Amino acid sequence: MTTEEFKEYVKTRKALNTEEIHRLMDDMSNEARRITFQLNTAYHTPDEVRRLLSGLFGYQVPSSLRVFPPFYTDFGKNIVVGEGVFINACCHFQDHGGVTIGDGCQIGHNVVFATLNHGLVPKDRKTTYPAPIVLGRNVWIGSNTTILQGVTIGDNAVVGAGAVVTKDVAANTVVGGVPAHFIKVIEE
């Protein structure tokens, strides 16, 4: 199985439970750790950070991307970032299911993107199920937020610090809390 075949497969949201899939996930995790260890253990200029992230993500990231390491991911090849994105320090991307970050997004410290979940019943608990996380344009994610699998956050939305986002967030709204709930509409 190739990385591209895997990325197509996870779009189906079917179980990640074959030996072939596990082998690819292990190989990709090893590569991601190799690059993130390099990224996170020394100072790098912004251009060097983007070069390392380009290798990690598997494409040339935008020159407008700003990331403050340390940065963590256990896959790396299923992250797509738009123009003018800022990702602050200590963020964790579990991106097997796919993470898409739209233009102009701002991600605070210690944000977790979790695109995998486990089966609920004990005999299925070792099985993982992917679902993507999608951020629209100009989304602001506050520090220490966790965004769970399958969540889409609409354009211009704000997620308050420390929130746990379990459901989609409408555009032009503010949410916060555990679990995240509607707080108010953002008016121009």
Along the 188 residues of the chain, how does pLDDT read in single tens digits? 999 999 999 999 999 999 999 999 999 999 999 999 999 999 999 999 999 999 999 999 999 999 999 999 999 999 999 999 999 999 999 999 999 999 999 999 999 999 999 999 999 999 999 999 999 999 999 999 999 999 999 999 999 999 999 999 999 999 999 999 999 999 87
Domain range summary for the chain, segments of one domain joined by +: 3-185
**C-alpha atoms less than 13 angstroms from C-alpha of 93 in its C-beta half-sphere:** 35
3-state helix, strand, coil in the chain (%, to 5): 25, 30, 50
Per DSSP bridges, beta strands 91-94 and 112-114 are parallel
Active-site residue (options: 44, 109, 118, 181): 118
Q: What is the 3-state secondary structure (H, E, C) of 35-97?
A: HHHHHHCCCCCHHHHHHHHHHHHCCCCCCCCEECCCEEECCCCCEEECCCCEECCCEEEECCC
> Distance (Å, rounded) from C-alpha 173 to C-alpha 68?
27
Tell me the CA distances in angstroms from 76 to 20, 30, 42, 93, 104, one per residue in order.
Answer: 18, 10, 19, 8, 20
> Distance (Å, rounded) from C-alpha 54 to C-alpha 48?
10
Q: Is 118 a catalytic residue?
A: yes
Considering the domain 3-185, what is its CATH architecture?
3 Solenoid (2.160)
> Distance (Å, rounded) from C-alpha 136 to C-alpha 58?
21
